[in-house]
A = this chain, B = another copy of it.
Amino acid sequence: MRLDETTLPVYAKGAAILGAGGGGSTRPGLLAALETVEEKGPVEVISLDDVPDDELIVPAGLMGSPNVSQEKLGNPEMGAWMRDILERETGKRVCAFMPAEIAGQNALAPVIWGAHTGLPVVDADGMGRAFPEAQMFSMNVAGVSPSPSALIDERGHKVMLRNLDALRHERCARSMVVAFGGSAGNALYVCTGAQARTAVIAGSVTRALRIGQVLADAPADRIRALLDHLGGQVIITGKVSDIERHTSGGFVRGHALIDGVGVDSGRLVRIEIQNENLIVLEEGGVLVSVPDIITLLDTQTGDVIFTETIRYGQRGTLVAFPSPDIWRTPEGLALVAPRAFGYDFDYEPLELLTLSRNGEER
């Protein structure tokens, strides 16, 4: 399987859906990726099974605030810089990149780095969606260390972190990202093929491609087709009546209010944001929360509205899909449940929450 000028736009659409509003708007990343494959040729997508036991997979993406990464021009050399630092530090050969998170711009950056280094991309990722913090990886659940980790910016500033546990790595890498101006390329949780087979979420690239294909094949009612494909639900259809957003500590934080229209007229929901859509509240109650995937779609086009592109007055349909299985385990929930983000309530799966509120499927 290859990512080329035909498949990349499909892949980008699907990865946007999985991003829970995060990972960064796909538009600049897709343009850069298309330009790259035009110049360098398509990027091979390999199966996890194809990675030799002792060679390295490099999970990589952009760390920081997506509203900053949108405005920083990337440098295609970043992938080679990451690879060189990590090969020197580990003494092992890097054989492929992997999207750290299968989400928005972050699904595309590793493709660009793969094209420029001549390395393939593994059909997998470390989140099955996007999360804002660097301890929130399936590789962390599996006991893989986040370091050696490489932080690199577009001007060639390079930092290698070593021997840091997951929370300390998040704290140290985040401060460095802030010092770098709010966004940087990050390669972390580097693992051998043998480790990766029990630590990463397999099939993520093909999952994004399939979602993109569902959207492409169903122009009539794209949102309905998507919900059917992913087992998702509409939370509310409405318009953005308020958006408060600020860049702080290497994140975008804030909230958006959605005023219901049509059948949802009279309802008002609040989306809590930290890079991703974390929580949806209505009348003080929780409608849906992380790790379930909460994505705001343009009601007319079905396109994703990313957290950094929400604007007052947009017509949006807020949808939610079940979380990847790993995040519903006790080990997963310890890292990504609402309490991990400072909220004082437990996670309940989407299926229970919304059904109990509406009494029936919408």
Which residues of A pack against B, CB within 8 Å?
85, 88-89, 156-164, 168, 171-172, 174-176, 178-180
Cross-chain contact A159 with B157 (CB below 8 angstroms): no
Residues of B within 8 A of A161 (CB): 158-159
Q: Which residue of B lies closest to A177 (CB)?
A: B175
Cross-chain contact B160 with A172 (CB below 8 angstroms): no
Q: Which residue of B lies closest to A174 (CB)?
A: B179
Residues of B within 8 A of A88 (CB): 88-89
Tell me, rounded to whole Å, the shortest Cβ–Cβ distance linking A138 to chain B.
24
**How far does the alpha carbon of A85 sit from the alpha carbon of B161 in the complex, in Å?**
11
Q: Please list 12 pairs of residues, one from A and one from B, whose beta carbons are closer than 8 Å in the complex, sorted by A's number.
A: A88-B88, A156-B163, A157-B162, A157-B163, A157-B168, A157-B172, A159-B161, A159-B176, A160-B160, A160-B162, A172-B180, A176-B179
Give me the 8 closest cross-chain CB pairs, A-B, nearest first: A158-B162, A175-B175, A160-B160, A175-B179, A172-B179, A156-B163, A158-B163, A171-B179
Tell me, rounded to whole Å, the shortest Cβ–Cβ distance linking A80 to chain B.
13
**How far does the alpha carbon of A328 sit from the alpha carbon of B32 in the complex, in Å?**
50
Q: Which residue of B lies closest to A171 (CB)?
A: B179
**How far does the alpha carbon of A162 sit from the alpha carbon of B89 in the complex, in Å?**
13
Cross-chain contact B179 with A159 (CB below 8 angstroms): no
**How far does the alpha carbon of A307 sit from the alpha carbon of B174 in the complex, in Å?**
31
Q: A158-B162, A159-B161, A159-B162 are in contact. List 9 more A-B contacts (CB 8 A).
A: A85-B162, A157-B164, A157-B172, A158-B161, A159-B159, A168-B179, A171-B179, A172-B180, A175-B175
Residues of B within 8 A of A159 (CB): 159-162, 172, 176
**How far does the alpha carbon of A168 sit from the alpha carbon of B85 in the complex, in Å?**
20
Tell me, rounded to whole Å, the shortest Cβ–Cβ distance linking A177 to chain B.
9
Q: Which residue of B lies closest to A85 (CB)?
A: B162
Cross-chain contact A176 with B172 (CB below 8 angstroms): yes
Q: Which residue of B lies closest to A88 (CB)?
A: B88
Q: Which residue of B lies closest to A160 (CB)?
A: B160
**How far does the alpha carbon of A88 sit from the alpha carbon of B179 in the complex, in Å?**
25
Tell me, rounded to whole Å, the shortest Cβ–Cβ distance linking A320 to chain B.
34
**How far does the alpha carbon of A163 sit from the alpha carbon of B152 in the complex, in Å?**
10
**How far does the alpha carbon of A159 sit from the alpha carbon of B180 in the complex, in Å?**
15
Tell me, rounded to whole Å, the shortest Cβ–Cβ distance linking A72 to chain B.
15
Residues of B within 8 A of A156 (CB): 163
**How far does the alpha carbon of A176 sit from the alpha carbon of B177 in the complex, in Å?**
10
Tell me, rounded to whole Å, the shortest Cβ–Cβ distance linking A346 to chain B.
30
**How far does the alpha carbon of A175 sit from the alpha carbon of B160 in the complex, in Å?**
14
**How far does the alpha carbon of A85 sit from the alpha carbon of B175 in the complex, in Å?**
21
The listed residue with most B CB atoms (<10 A of its CB), out of A159, A160, A164, is A159
Tell me, rounded to whole Å, the shortest Cβ–Cβ distance linking A13 to chain B.
36
Residue among B85, B162, B163, B176 making CB contact with A176, cutoff 8 Å: B176
Tell me, rounded to whole Å, the shortest Cβ–Cβ distance linking A179 to chain B.
4
Residues of B within 8 A of A174 (CB): 179
Residues of B within 8 A of A85 (CB): 162
Residues of B within 8 A of A157 (CB): 162-164, 168, 172
Tell me, rounded to whole Å, the shortest Cβ–Cβ distance linking A61 to chain B.
20
Residues of B within 8 A of A163 (CB): 156-158
Residues of B within 8 A of A160 (CB): 159-160, 162
Tell me, rounded to whole Å, the shortest Cβ–Cβ distance linking A171 to chain B.
5
Residues of B within 8 A of A168 (CB): 157, 179
